[in-house]
Structure 1
Amino acid sequence: MSREVKILYVAEGEDGVRIDKFFKRRWPHLNHIQLNKLLRSGQVRVDGARAKADTRLSTGQSVRVPPLPDAPSEEQQKRERAELSPQEVRYAKSLVLYEDEDVIAINKPSGLAVQGGTKTKNHIDRLLSAWGEGLERPRLVHRLDRDTSGVLLLGKSPSAAARLAGAFAKRKAYKTYWALVAGTPDPKEGVIDVPLVKKGINDREMVMPADPKEPGAEAAETEYVTISRAAHRLAWMALRPHTGRTHQLRAHMQAIGHCILGDPKYKDEKSIALSEGLGLQLHHRRIEIPHPTHGTLIVEAPLDPVIQAGFDRYGFDEHEASPEPFRKATRASRR
Structure 2
Amino acid sequence: MKNKKRPRSKKTAPFLTYEVTESGELFPFLREVLANRSRNSVKSILTRGQVSVNDRIQTQHNYMLEKGQVVKILKNKEAVKQEVFIGMSIIHEDEDIIVIDKEAGLLSIATKEERRQTAFHQLMDYVKQDNPAGRVFVVHRLDKETSGVMIFAKSEEVKRKLQNNWKNIVKERIYIALVEGQVQKEKGYIVSWLKESPTHKMYSSRVKNDGQRAATRYRVIQSNQQFSLLEVELETGRKNQIRVHMQELGHPVVGDKKYGGGHRRMIGRLGLHAKALALYHPRTNKLMFFRSEAPKSFYHKTK
* TM-score above 0.5: yes
Residue 131 in 1 paired to residue 121 in 2? Answer: no
Aligned to 1:118: 112
**Given the two structures, how large is their TM-score scaled by the length of structure 2?**
0.65
Q: 1:104 to 1:171 in 2, by over 3 A?
A: closer
Between the aligned partners of 2:200 and 2:155, the Cα distance in structure 1 is: 34
Aligned to 1:108: 102
Q: 1:178 pairs with 176, 179, 183, which one? A: 176
1:137 touches 1:156 (CA, 8 Å); kept in 2? yes
2:229 touches 2:298 (CA, 8 Å); kept in 1? no
Provide the secondary structure at the position in 1 that maps to 2:236. coil
Report % sequence identity.
25
Q: How does 1:1-335 map to 2 (within 5 A)?
A: 89-91=83-85, 95-121=89-115, 122-129=117-124, 130-132=126-128, 135-170=133-168, 172-200=170-198, 204-212=199-207, 217-229=211-223, 231-267=224-260, 271-272=261-262, 276=266, 278-294=268-284, 295-303=286-294, 307-315=295-303
The residue type equivalent to 1:292 in the other structure is: P
Provide the secondary structure at the position in 1 that maps to 2:242. helix
Between the aligned partners of 1:264 and 1:297, the Cα distance in structure 2 is: 35
Give per-residue Cα distances to partners, 1:241-275, cap 9 Å, x unaligned: 211211010000000101111112112xxx52586
**Given the two structures, how large is their TM-score scaled by the length of structure 1?**
0.59
Between the aligned partners of 1:236 and 1:94, the Cα distance in structure 2 is: 24
Give per-residue Cα distances to partners, 1:170-190, cap 9 Å, x unaligned: 463410000111123332112
Deviation at 1:145, TM superposition (A): 0.7
Give per-residue Cα distances to partners, 1:50-91, cap 9 Å, x unaligned: xxxxxxxxxxxxxxxxxxxxxxxxxxxxxxxxxxx9798331
Between the aligned partners of 2:87 and 2:245, the Cα distance in structure 1 is: 34
Give per-residue Cα distances to partners, 1:122-178, cap 9 Å, x unaligned: 211211221116652222211111111000111223333333223424463410000
2:102 touches 2:150 (CA, 8 Å); kept in 1? yes
Deviation at 1:213, TM superposition (A): 5.8
Deviation at 1:101, TM superposition (A): 2.6
2:88 touches 2:102 (CA, 8 Å); kept in 1? no
Between the aligned partners of 2:229 and 2:112, the Cα distance in structure 1 is: 35
The residue type equivalent to 1:278 in the other structure is: G
Between the aligned partners of 1:150 and 1:277, the Cα distance in structure 2 is: 16
Instruction: Specify every segment of 5 or more residues in structure 1 that has no aligned partner in the other structure, as ranges.
Output: 1-84, 316-335
Deviation at 1:116, TM superposition (A): 0.8
The residue type equivalent to 2:214 in the other structure is: A
Kindly name which structure, 1 or 2, has the bigger radius of gyration based on alpha carbons: 1
Give per-residue Cα distances to partners, 1:8-57, cap 9 Å, x unaligned: xxxxxxxxxxxxxxxxxxxxxxxxxxxxxxxxxxxxxxxxxxxxxxxxxx
The residue type equivalent to 2:278 in the other structure is: E
Between Structure 1 and Structure 2, the one with more helix by share is 1
2:193 touches 2:208 (CA, 8 Å); kept in 1? no
Cα root mean square deviation, aligned: 2.7
Between the aligned partners of 1:187 and 1:309, the Cα distance in structure 2 is: 23
Q: 1:116 to 1:192 in 2, by over 3 A?
A: same
Between the aligned partners of 1:134 and 1:178, the Cα distance in structure 2 is: 38
Deviation at 1:232, TM superposition (A): 2.9
1:167 touches 1:290 (CA, 8 Å); kept in 2? no
Q: 1:96 to 1:214 in 2, by over 3 A?
A: closer
Q: 1:194 to 1:213 in 2, by over 3 A?
A: closer
Give per-residue Cα distances to partners, 1:259-317, cap 9 Å, x unaligned: 111112112xxx525864531010000000001222111000133xxx433333444xx
1:220 touches 1:243 (CA, 8 Å); kept in 2? yes
Instruction: Specify every segment of 5 or more residues in structure 2 that has no aligned partner in the other structure, as ranges.
Output: 1-78
Corresponding residue pairs, total? 220
Deviation at 1:214, TM superposition (A): 8.1
Give per-residue Cα distances to partners, 1:83-116, cap 9 Å, x unaligned: xx97983316961011223221100111111111
Aligned to 2:25: none
